[in-house]
Amino acid sequence: MDLYNPKDIGGKPERYEDEQKFANISRIVSAKEALRLAGAKPIELGPKEGLGLINGTAASASVASLALYETHMLAVFSQILTAMAVEALLGNAESFHPFLAEVRPNSGQIEVAYNIRSFLRGSKLAQGLKDDKNRMKSGLVQDRYAVRSASQWVGPQLEDLLLADRQITTELNSTTDNPVIDAGIGEVYSGANFQAACTTSAMEKARLSLQMLGKMLFGQYSELINPSHSNGLPANLAADDPSLSFTMKGVDVNLASYMSELAFLANPALDLRVMRLKYLEALQPMVQTITSTVFGQLLDKQELEKLQLDLWKHIPDAWSATTTLDAHKGFQMVVDTTIGVVTECIAQSKAGAERLTPSIALIKSWRSQMLSALNETYIAVRAEFFEHQSTAASLGHASHKLYTFVRNDLGVPVHRGLVEHPGPKDDQSVLVGGRDKKTIGSWISIIYESLRDGRLHEPIMMCLDFADKESTANGEAGGVAIGEENDVANGQGGSSVQA
């Protein structure tokens, strides 16, 4: 391959007319026409020049440099996606605390931990950014491995990519011809500089790194769609009823086979997280009003305040436990499990159990009003959210950058569930929210194309640049502070990145 491909390229300057072609964005032309369009003249090769063009590792090193550039981008991308997963899962930024990296000072781990923590800066969803540890919180004390161990997992991949980058950089700036002429003394040396083992060694590192990054992202994605692990997100990230819409389950099946970071980015986890928080935010004053109206005559002020506090300690957790149920069934479960809180509060009031019997009618009234409030508030919040997402305001720096790029620049919308499934082309049902319906795979393809054509690279690098500038301004470890080589590992330097 290293003889055939350079031969095909080497003929262009000599203006071959037969099979030699140039490709540009719009059309394919002959070498002669390409030279004319470029305003260049054909050249005549001298002794040894033809062999110099077709021999060596030029083709494999060139392809390797392009592959390594994209691998660098994906290495940064995986760190940003991890930050997004932390936010979507309401995870803990403590996993990336500088102290953990300082006591195990591998350069890659330090770099990744700093980057992810920087990417989360400003987030209203991630926990522990201000070291405000809540030792009394319920649920998981620490996040699951796929998120918590990201810096330990990705760090060694960055270190491997540094070495791969040095190998390819050296290869691109070396003589890999044979024989080689020392023009200074006029001597000819025969050897094997054309041997491409150095290039294949670099590509093995890149291949294994990509496999490891994909495995981590698959683990994170599995948490997001599993209601038992997602900290209150609906099953399969369905924005409508789980019994009707499996939404991201098809993507999960594909992830299991090719572990793509793109499906991760296309999922609505962040939107659903914010929408559910907005729902609880809108619901709380409704619950307070209904409770005060129904039980205001039965309980004194102090007892009523305690009931309000107890209800709101229970309702968010009860709502999170309904992620596998359709909405109307979830509302019933929330209200029915909450009735126990009400009856216990009444039983412990001053008049005690004697108030329970006459209060049964009040509890029934409260239950009925609560079911209506949960349902009506949910419908209103969801409808408003589908039209005007407020997700970006809750995100950290990096998630905000990628989220707005996907939603605004690429035009990939929040997936609304089964209603998104395309209908017959001659049917009005092909529209949703005034736009054409697409399958989830079609939306993912739009993101994939932006990665392939380079549009996604700019917001990725802007996220990293922010982290680097912040570390320089604060004099902290991480980013470029670790060393110039890390710019290369993260896709910011080295001839393989610029190729």
pLDDT band at residue 156, thresholds of 50, 70 and 90? Answer: very high
Which pLDDT belongs to residue 476?
59
pLDDT at 19 over 60: no
What's the token pair of residue 202? Answer: 């670099």
For the segment 227-238, what is each residue's pLDDT rounded down to a tens digit?
889 998 988 888
Average pLDDT, the chain: 83
Measured CA to CA, the distance from residue 111 to residue 151 in angstroms comes to 8
Return the higher-pLDDT residue of 33 and 368. 368
Residue with token string 């063009």: 53
pTM, to two decimals = 0.77
Handedness of CA 487, 491, 496, 497 (dihedral sign): negative
Return the higher-pLDDT residue of 311 and 47. 311
Measured CA to CA, the distance from residue 97 to residue 91 in angstroms comes to 13
Query: Looking at residues 430-444, what average pLDDT do you find?
Result: 81
- In this structure, what are the phi and psi dihedrals at residue 418, rounded to the nearest 5 degrees? -60, -30
pLDDT at 247 over 70: yes
For the segment 90-111, what is each residue's pLDDT rounded down to a tens digit?
999 999 999 999 999 999 999 9
Measured CA to CA, the distance from residue 211 to residue 196 in angstroms comes to 23
Q: Among candidates 335, 277, 330, which has minimal Cα distance to 311? A: 335
Q: Are 362 and 297 in contact (CB under 8 A)?
A: no
For the segment 98-149, what is each residue's pLDDT rounded down to a tens digit?
999 999 999 999 999 999 999 999 999 998 888 666 666 666 778 999 999 9
Measured CA to CA, the distance from residue 7 to residue 322 in angstroms comes to 64
Q: Among candidates 236, 274, 223, 251, which has minimal Cα distance to 448? A: 251
Cβ contacts of residue 408 below 8 Å, gap of 6+?
Answer: none
Measured CA to CA, the distance from residue 116 to residue 76 in angstroms comes to 10
- In this structure, what are the phi and psi dihedrals at residue 442, rounded to the nearest 5 degrees? -70, -40
What's the token pair of residue 334? Answer: 């929330």
Measured CA to CA, the distance from residue 467 to residue 321 in angstroms comes to 37
Measured CA to CA, the distance from residue 356 to residue 345 in angstroms comes to 10
pLDDT at 75 over 80: yes
Residue 435 forms beta bridges with which residues?
A: 432
Which pLDDT belongs to residue 430?
62
Which pLDDT belongs to residue 243?
83
Least confident of 10-14, 16-20, 24-28, 474-478: 16-20
Handedness of CA 152, 465, 394, 457 (dihedral sign): negative
- For residue 22, the surrounding DSSP H or E stretch is strand 21-23
